[in-house]
Structure 1
């Protein structure tokens, strides 16, 4: 049985982001620390290579924990930082998240191999300690063809969109067929390209503004983006959405009004 999704108009992207802000401000510090915790786990794997596999396996669980906290707030509950660890002990969903993590790790390895193959000359230049730093950048630019760059951007776009909604689909919808999950996540970006483009543009604009403010506003912006992205998942995929959060729309292939009451 295929996974049904709903289709929204462009203005839904604004409503999703607004809903994310409204949820965030109910317990801002908790959401900030939750996001920081996820970020720290990722950074540790960069500095301590032996933690890379552990971090890769843990990330879907931590993301699911963050989303579960959002759902708890929508239902009027209280959350704390430790709630982000709940998926590790959630019976019935752990195997699905573990399988998803393994699939994502495999896809990440394939992306790394593709990058090494497409940009082997550039990697060799950057790895050569004898190359003059003043001319290394120009040599790297000259070694990269537009065709290879386009191919890599297409591949990375497929990778990101395929896994974008994978965690909530596995954890909340309890989908066990990973390839069906990845396909459904891809289809979201096809059917809801307008709404997600508006949502993405809003996030991008705020990120650019943050860059001029020493990135400190990202401590607030990134949790809001996480929350509002989960709100978009609820609107598109959840058959029953918490009251006063959204109005369901027609299943796939039928456009709706795009309404999402935050």
Structure 2
């Protein structure tokens, strides 16, 4: 009789300067197919701009986002395995029915969670126009924005690569990974801002290079934070 096993999800702590390694690896991956990465992210930026034209387009873009994000991550893994990637990989996860339900649910929850953040942002914009910023409102906006980001930062990767379907487990794992690795993520954020600012002399044309680089590097942080351990147990479950 075969023994059942227990799969335990281990969230590791990365070194403070781990972001430097992510960026270095990201550059190596980017240079394997630079034109393809630029084409994919130009497409994603174009869709993001279209989503700003109409609220319905914004909702549609939010629902599509997990599928496209998974497509980008899938391309990273393909390059890591020395495989050739093409533009169609960006949309390939639409043809994988096992992930449709969880992706749509994650997108809907993300959209719902973003509503109070957007409301606070609108209030801050109005206060800025009146040149009176309420520090409580500013703090509430910052805290809520960071919280929502932490809950959903790794959600797509967890659902797709760890094959977790339970939304609470996905969001808990994403939040825990961010919380345990807040220092390397802050370093990564500062480096990201610095790289984006370096594109200013190019009229931000350099973003065509920087945006793919940062997105690939962020996925590499997922690879470093998450690990699986298999132990013989009575039942097969995924724990956080």
TM over 0.5: yes
* Distance in 1 of aligned mates of 2:184 and 2:149: 17
Q: In structure 1, which of residues 98, 101, 126 is the aligned counterpart of residue 107 of structure 2?
A: 101
TM-score (norm 2): 0.86
Residue of structure 2 equivalent to 1:154: 143
* Distance in 1 of aligned mates of 2:121 and 2:217: 31
Work out whether residues 96 and 171 of structure 1, in 8 Å CA contact, stay in contact via their aligned partners in 2. no
Deviations 1:33-57 (A, max 9, x none): 1111111112112124432222111
Unaligned runs of 5+ in 2: 1-6, 230-239
* Distance in 2 of aligned mates of 1:8 and 1:46: 36
* Distance in 2 of aligned mates of 1:232 and 1:24: 16
TM-score (norm 1): 0.79
Q: Shift of the alpha carbon at 1:2?
A: 7.0
Residue of structure 2 equivalent to 1:19: 25
User: More strand by proportion, 1 or 2?
Assistant: 2
Residue of structure 1 equivalent to 2:36: 30
- Residues matched between the structures, number: 224
Work out whether residues 29 and 80 of structure 2, in 8 Å CA contact, stay in contact via their aligned partners in 1. yes
Alignment of 1:11-160 (within 5 A): 11-116=17-122, 118-119=123-124, 123=126, 139-142=129-132, 144-160=133-149
Unaligned runs of 5+ in 1: 126-136, 241-251, 253-262
* Distance in 2 of aligned mates of 1:204 and 1:115: 20
Q: In structure 1, which of residues 176, 191, 204 is the aligned counterpart of residue 193 of structure 2?
A: 204
* Distance in 2 of aligned mates of 1:34 and 1:232: 20
Q: Secondary structure at the match of 1:4?
A: strand
